[in-house]
């Protein structure tokens, strides 16, 4: 929007009026013309000053608007985090309170009552198992909280994912054997790559223990690791019950425990896969599920050789 052409016959008054109108609209282009008209020459510097102040004020307002927007976004985010925190607290409280009640009950009876050996053993075993369960839940909750708070950052180092997979496989081999499950590894030689070893260890452990958890005796769990065009892939397959297609979307949600029951009575916090997904996302990778009810499930994790910035 340019300034009006100067109409010198009017003695510049009209130009002045026009200029002021333009400045009000944020267009300072007409200022220069003012200096060319003797009648309003004296006023020109004052008008220029005014224009400058208005310009500065506008800038300040724009900056303030921008900050207000940022603040509104931050508030949204805080509200979200608060709600999440409340949700986790609620679930944690419930999932921890129950076992605690039973630990109190059982331990009191162990101390005060004359119990037969069978009951005594059952109580002690239960207290032991449930303590493990509670510890896992607390650790998972802390993990999720760190990851959600975006303070989560990866500690990257150059290392070998294939070696990590082999190591984790040999560690879970025993619990697989106990359940009568065969663990088969097919690990290709892969190049070293940049990843967070603690977090990827968590990922591999979670996928392996899940596969074993939901597998029945006599079945096989397959662990694979190979190099792809763009990075590295780890696959974990089981011959378990499979996941109904309707449930697959919910798989990576927090506190999701779906219909399938662990075959050995193990407990699920419902947080494992959510944490796994966040770790993979942070590496710039991808996790996919291929499953069919009655056939089994395959989880495939793909991470680039180097996480994107």
| Contacting residues toward another protein, per CB under 8 A | 93-94, 97-106, 108-109, 113, 115, 119, 122-123, 126-127, 129-130, 257, 259, 265, 267
DSSP string, 216-266: PTT-EEEEEEEE-SSEEEEEEEE-SS---HHHHGGGGSTT---SPPPTT--
Q: Bridge partners of 226?
A: 233
DSSP class per residue in 43-71? HHHHHHHHHHHHHHHHHHHHHHHHHHHHH
In the complex, the smallest distance separating the C-beta of residue 105 from another protein, rounded to whole angstroms, is 4
| Least Cβ distance, residue 78 to another protein (angstroms) | 26
Furthest CA-CA distance within the chain: 116
Shortest spacing between CB 251 and another protein, in angstroms: 16
Among residues 1 and 111, whose Cβ is nearest to another protein? 111
Tokens 């076992």 correspond to what residue?
99
For residue 115, the minimal CB distance to another protein (Å) is 7
In this complex, which beta carbon is closest to another protein, that of residue 126 or of residue 185? 126
Query: Between residues 99 and 240, which has the closer beta carbon with respect to another protein?
Result: 99
> In terms of CB distance, is 9 or 112 closer to another protein?
112
Q: Which is nearer to another protein, 5 or 94 (CB)?
A: 94
Give least dist CB 94 to another protein, A.
Answer: 7
d(CA 168, CA 147): 23
Nearest residue (CB) to another protein, 68 versus 89 = 89
d(Cα 244, Cα 231) in Å, to the nearest integer?
A: 30
Query: Least separation, in Å, of the C-beta of 91 and another protein?
Result: 11
DSSP letter string, 111-158? HHS---HHHHHHHHHHHHHHHHHHHHHHHHHHHHHHHHTT-----EEE
Minimum distance from CB of 117 to another protein (Å)? 12
At its nearest, how many Å lie between another protein and the CB of residue 108?
Answer: 5
Report the alpha-carbon distance of residue 309 to residue 307 in Å, rounded: 6
- Copy the structure tokens of residue 181: 């499950």
Provide the angle, in degrees to the nearest 10, between the axes of the packed helices 117-148 and 43-112. 170
The residue among 193 and 269 lying less far from another protein, judged by its C-beta, is 269
Q: Which is nearer to another protein, 99 or 162 (CB)?
A: 99
Return the CA Rg of the chain: 33
Q: From the CB of residue 62, how many other CB atoms can be counted at a distance below 10 Å?
A: 10
């Amino acid at each position: 929007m340019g300034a009006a052409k100067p109409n010198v016959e009017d003695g510049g008054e009209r130009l002045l009026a026009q200029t002021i109108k333009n400045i009000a609209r944020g267009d300072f282009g007409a200022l220069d013309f003012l200096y060319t008209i003797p009648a309003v020459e004296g006023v020109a510097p004052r008008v220029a000053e005014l224009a400058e102040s208005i310009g500065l004020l506008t800038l300040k307002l724009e900056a303030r608007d921008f900050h207000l927007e940022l603040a509104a976004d931050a508030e949204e985010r805080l509200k979200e985090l608060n709600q999440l925190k409340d949700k986790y607290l609620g679930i944690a409280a419930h999932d921890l309170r129950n076992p605690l009640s039973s630990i109190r009950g059982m331990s009191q009876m162990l101390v005060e009552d004359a119990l037969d050996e069978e009951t005594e053993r059952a109580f002690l075993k239960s207290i032991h198992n449930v303590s493990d369960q509670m510890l896992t839940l607390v650790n998972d909750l802390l993990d999720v909280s760190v990851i959600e708070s975006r303070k989560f950052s990866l500690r990257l180092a150059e290392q070998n994912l294939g070696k990590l997979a082999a190591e984790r496989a040999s560690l879970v081999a025993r619990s697989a054997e106990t359940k009568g499950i065969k663990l088969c590894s097919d690990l290709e030689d892969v190049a070293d790559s940049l990843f967070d070893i603690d977090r990827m260890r968590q990922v591999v452990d979670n996928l392996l223990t899940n596969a074993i958890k939901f597998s029945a005796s006599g079945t096989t769990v397959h662990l694979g690791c190979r190099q792809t065009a763009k990075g590295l892939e780890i696959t974990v397959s089981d011959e378990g019950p499979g996941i109904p297609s309707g449930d697959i979307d919910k798989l990576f949600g927090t506190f999701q425990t779906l219909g399938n029951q662990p075959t050995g009575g193990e407990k699920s916090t419902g947080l494992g896969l959510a944490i796994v997904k966040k770790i993979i996302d942070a590496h710039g990778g991808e996790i996919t599920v291929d499953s069919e009810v009655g056939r089994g499930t395959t989880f495939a994790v793909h991470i680039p050789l180097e996480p994107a910035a």
